[in-house]
Structure 1
Amino acid sequence: MLATIESVNSVVNNFIWGVPAMLCIIGVGLVLSVRTGFLQIRKFPYAMKITLGRMLKKKEASDGAMTPFQAVCTALAATVGTGNIAGVAGAIAIGGPGAVFWMWISALLGMCTKFSEVTLAVHFREVNEDGEYVGGPMYYIKNGLAKHWHFLAYLFAAFGVLTVFGTGNATQVNTITTAIDSALFNYNVIGEGSVKTLNLIIGIVLAILIALILLGGIKRIGQVTERLVPFMAVLYILLALGIIVLNIGHIPAVFASIFKGAFSPASVTGGAVGSFFMSMKKGVSRGIFSNEAGLGTGSIAHACADTRKPVKQGFFGIFEVFVDTIVICTLTALVILCSGVPVGYGAAAGAELTISGFTAVYGNLVSIFTAVAMCCFAFSTIIGWGLYGARCIEFLFGTRVNKPFMLVYSLVAIVGATMDLGLMWSIAETFNGLMAIPNLIAVFLLSGVVVKMVKEYFETEK
């Protein structure tokens, strides 16, 4: 039975994250970019000005809402995660350095996709029975498209509920326990016999923390993410920049390998990665998996923002993809390629490759800091996806299920900490990809609304 599930999931997963799906995601991004006159490039300085400018302003949100800064931190909490550490390493190992180039291309188009998702989410949002703003793909499908398209909203919400327990929780908790175990084991703080007990304790502590944060409502979620996200991002960026500075002489050769490997992988990897399409597929898929442009999930957090200008909030979508992929994913790639650690092209790799890049330069002591960074990345992802799951199940069954869902979601942390996840990660990844299909159809159909709103916004801003 298990073997049958694995084989069926493998077929579906390969299609969802295969070349046709990648082309579909890139295609929608390209259509949106053309229709908005490549807004993400043309208005990039403006986007940085209003996003960074608003972040520095202290502002209290109204009841049932987050400040714009809290909204972007919650969305970044879910997107900036272990994919930035493990995902980039896997893309380079299997797709060669050229995968980084295709990651940049997917991010460039993804900026416009996420801008459109956020703009639509704020424009078509509603206020629920608890007085909180609710929005996202299911709401802009319901309120923006004709009735015969509404089934897409229910599909998105159903896939969302099925995804959060794996992608958003269990696998992230597993990453936290692995990071803590390896750091403590390296310094002989614990022995092998104590690992299971320690993991159970970690799982219980995390379950309590997750429940306290999520049950505290939208304001508490915003308050936690606005403190955690800047801390973890700055810590990771500083550590990565240190490696780049210490290996500055390698930078020209690294960028040469990225651009050359994008079109001729074999010339860089010695033939271990010889397929141009493999390099492109891995770069695009890992980029999308990291920044979530096209999945629509980030727009759920932005719909909670206390703002009356959907387009203005939409620019935070551009900022998010830029920070997640162009900044953090690129830094991860440079850590791996600059540090001189053997990559082992053609073989699967994960977070251990990125961590080895840090330890090769800083020594084993840095494993403690990388463990802290990975724990922050993973925990913030759990909180962000907890909000996404709550909004999806609320759309299907109403606000009465919110608290029971959050309690169950919190308890899944114990499962993630103590069990071998095996097939769960693969199935969650499949459902994650399935979420993109109804969302991309909706964003494509509503592209005219986005174009109109952008035009009206800049006419009033003059």
Structure 2
Amino acid sequence: MEAFGNFLLLLDSYLGSSFWFPYVLLGTGLFFTLYLKFPQIRYFKHAIKVVSGKYDRKGDEGDTSHFQALTTALSGTVGTGNISGVALAIFLGGPAALLWMWVTAFLGMTTKFVEVTLSHKYRVKTEDGTMAGGPMYFMDRRLNMKWLAVGFAIATVISSFGTGSLPQINGISTSMEATFGIEPILTGAVLAVLLALVILGGIKRIAAVTSKIVPFMAGLYIVGALAVIFYNIENIGPSFVSIFEYAFTGSAAVGGFLGASFAYAFNRGVNRGLFSNEAGQGSAPIAHASAKAHEPVSEGMVSILEPFIDTIIICTLTGLVILSSGVWNEKFENQFDRTDMVILAGQYEQNNESNKLELYKYLNEDGEHSVESYTGKIEVVSGKALGKDFTIINARSIAEDVRFTLSSNDDPYTGTLEVVDGKLVKQNIVVTGKSLIHSATLTTKAFTRGFFGEYGQYIVSIGLLLFAFSTAISWSYYGDRAMTYLLGPRSIMPYRVFYVAGFFWASFSDTTLIWYLSYVAIVVMTLPNLFGILMLRKEMRETVDKYWQDFEKEQQSK
């Protein structure tokens, strides 16, 4: 599994983590923002009226209302990205990463408006009478690029696992174990059964469930976040300053945080922003294609609200909770994931400035450095390592109070451990100690620093359960629409079986590996979609212009 994780990281280095991907994503959003004259600002008020049903007509074709389509799409985006993804972005890039999440969301409001409008315009009615749409349909029916449509649909199926199923249940099970002590496999088994019961009912049952879950879970999470923010109100000003202070220079080392370069903060902020709101990925258009609407632009208007709610509101609250509580640069007792841990040659100290500089360069791949991975043997007595010719790095921080125990019975280990290229060879050893933490664990810790105290962690656990479970529900629909396009309605049931099975498996798999898989899946889906909407830029502007002409005539006739 470690070798597979390294392979995924290699792929990601050429895709989502490459220098060019953020520019392609943000560049597309910026282009359409200017090309369509800032629709995310000009049409925002109108979008609220559309989603309220003010302009609905009887007899509009579709399976769901505007509001249900919005909540289904939101349930697909409001998930672990809002709880774990924001924490991961700050952990990797420092406070400045949050700024780039905002930029991604603002430009993403326009990107989503475009992709939803075009997908809704070319949707079709399937053999079973339900609506099917998404970027694969405009690629096929309008661009006549069957190969691109097939590629996108295949990527959607893969991404339904990498975005919707695997990381969601992994985040839930990790949080439930940390908060309530429930075994991950048990959490996975129960929720896999519930997932199967919901998705077997198709889009109407999915929409009915998500339209009830989304408002409740958002309200609960916002209350919990505000309880932390107001408790640490004196830190809100400095938190905002830290977000902007290092936006173009990279974040400085603070506490256990060893610093992050501009490139790292920018890349991770954009990457996590995309994972959170999915603008440009082409997933939300699949949900919106089911909406009852006589005019595709009106449904595109509805989608403008998604990145605003998902990232500008909910992700910002998560970020402020983490920053104002101060947990983002503190070390906590935790069990080290092998993928987060590396053993370096030589002794590095937290208070040594030259040591920190070398580690900064090493962790951020920023310039030449003298840091090398350790290869050799470590003598351990009663769980404690002897010798000072190595340093253990976990979660991008210098680990402290490290202990080695046997995974079979938690007894302190005594013996010799072999290390090759910074990695432990022996697999039945559990490593624990103090280091930085990330993902859902970091957010959970932050929520205990508010008016609710330790009870705050339950809000994260319940919120994560609802957020992530609803995301898994929505993504099952995205996947089955892609399978419908590829192989027809008969392929839906086998897909759902595999989807539920993968959901269960991921509940007890390595957290970091799941995130690595999602990195690759997201980009593989995004690139064909961005290419398609850029190809149809002129048609998009003409469609929007015609919408306003028809709208004004309709309003004048009333």
Question: What is the TM-score normalised by the length of structure 2?
Answer: 0.75
Inter-partner Cα distance in structure 1 for 2:512 and 2:89: 21
Matched, 1:216 2:201: yes
Contact 2:167 2:518 (C-alpha < 8 Å) held by counterparts: no
Per mean C-alpha deviation after superposition, the further-off stretch among 271-280 and 301-310 is 271-280
1:403-414 pair list within 5 angstroms: 403-414=493-504
> Could you say if the C-alpha distance between residues 342 and 170 of structure 1 is closer, same or farther in structure 2, counting changes exceeding 3 Å?
closer
2:25 corresponds in structure 1 to: 25
Contact 2:171 2:511 (C-alpha < 8 Å) held by counterparts: no
Contact 1:156 1:439 (C-alpha < 8 Å) held by counterparts: yes
Listed one character per residue, the Cα deviations across residues 282-315 of structure 1 (whole Å, up to 9, x for unaligned) are 2111111110011001110000001112111111
1:40-439 pair list within 5 angstroms: 40-51=40-51, 53-54=52-53, 65-145=63-143, 147=144, 149-185=145-181, 195=183, 199-266=184-251, 269=254, 272-344=258-330, 347=397, 349-361=438-450, 362-420=452-510, 423-439=513-529
Higher helix share: 1
Inter-partner Cα distance in structure 2 for 1:274 and 1:70: 40
Inter-partner Cα distance in structure 2 for 1:140 and 1:209: 34
Q: Quote the offset at 1:58 in angstroms.
A: 11
Inter-partner Cα distance in structure 2 for 1:257 and 1:183: 30
Amino acid at match of 2:161: F
Inter-partner Cα distance in structure 1 for 2:296 and 2:503: 35
Contact 2:252 2:258 (C-alpha < 8 Å) held by counterparts: no
Per mean C-alpha deviation after superposition, the further-off stretch among 200-209 and 437-446 is 200-209
Inter-partner Cα distance in structure 1 for 2:135 and 2:466: 27
Amino acid at match of 1:375: L
The 3-state SS of whatever aligns with 1:102 is helix
**Which sections of structure 1, spanning at least 5 residues, go unmatched?**
none
Contact 2:137 2:149 (C-alpha < 8 Å) held by counterparts: yes
Inter-partner Cα distance in structure 2 for 1:396 and 1:419: 30
Q: Quote the offset at 1:208 in angstroms.
A: 2.0
Amino acid at match of 2:501: L
Inter-partner Cα distance in structure 2 for 1:331 and 1:117: 27
Q: Quote the offset at 1:42 in angstroms.
A: 2.5
- Length, aligned pairs only: 446
> Could you say if the C-alpha distance between residues 413 and 367 of structure 1 is closer, same or farther in structure 2, counting changes exceeding 3 Å?
same
Q: Quote the offset at 1:115 in angstroms.
A: 0.5
Inter-partner Cα distance in structure 2 for 1:181 and 1:298: 31
Contact 1:168 1:385 (C-alpha < 8 Å) held by counterparts: yes
Inter-partner Cα distance in structure 2 for 1:452 and 1:85: 39
Aligned-residue identity in percent: 40
> Could you say if the C-alpha distance between residues 5 and 274 of structure 1 is closer, same or farther in structure 2, counting changes exceeding 3 Å?
closer
Inter-partner Cα distance in structure 2 for 1:95 and 1:34: 29
Q: Quote the offset at 1:72 in angstroms.
A: 0.8
Inter-partner Cα distance in structure 1 for 2:265 and 2:218: 27
> Could you say if the C-alpha distance between residues 242 and 47 of structure 1 is closer, same or farther in structure 2, counting changes exceeding 3 Å?
same
Query: C-alpha root-mean-square deviation of aligned residues, in Å?
Result: 2.4
The 3-state SS of whatever aligns with 2:117 is helix
Q: Max radius of gyration: which structure?
A: 2
Contact 1:61 1:67 (C-alpha < 8 Å) held by counterparts: no
Q: Quote the offset at 1:244 in angstroms.
A: 2.0
> Could you say if the C-alpha distance between residues 357 and 420 of structure 1 is closer, same or farther in structure 2, counting changes exceeding 3 Å?
closer
Q: Quote the offset at 1:333 in angstroms.
A: 0.6
> Could you say if the C-alpha distance between residues 15 and 254 of structure 1 is closer, same or farther in structure 2, counting changes exceeding 3 Å?
same
Contact 1:72 1:316 (C-alpha < 8 Å) held by counterparts: yes
Q: Quote the offset at 1:59 in angstroms.
A: 10
Contact 2:162 2:521 (C-alpha < 8 Å) held by counterparts: no
> Could you say if the C-alpha distance between residues 247 and 420 of structure 1 is closer, same or farther in structure 2, counting changes exceeding 3 Å?
closer
The 3-state SS of whatever aligns with 1:262 is coil
Inter-partner Cα distance in structure 2 for 1:57 and 1:213: 30
Listed one character per residue, the Cα deviations across residues 392-436 of structure 1 (whole Å, up to 9, x for unaligned) are 111110011112211221232321234446645423431221101
Inter-partner Cα distance in structure 2 for 1:122 and 1:398: 19
The 3-state SS of whatever aligns with 2:102 is helix
Relative contact order (alpha carbons < 8 A, sep ≥ 6): 1 or 2 greater?
1
1:12 corresponds in structure 2 to: 11
Contact 1:135 1:300 (C-alpha < 8 Å) held by counterparts: yes
Contact 1:64 1:218 (C-alpha < 8 Å) held by counterparts: no
Contact 2:217 2:466 (C-alpha < 8 Å) held by counterparts: yes
> Could you say if the C-alpha distance between residues 260 and 163 of structure 1 is closer, same or farther in structure 2, counting changes exceeding 3 Å?
same
Q: Quote the offset at 1:453 in angstroms.
A: 1.1
**Which sections of structure 2, spanning at least 5 residues, go unmatched?**
331-394, 398-436, 553-558
The 3-state SS of whatever aligns with 1:93 is helix
Higher strand share: 2
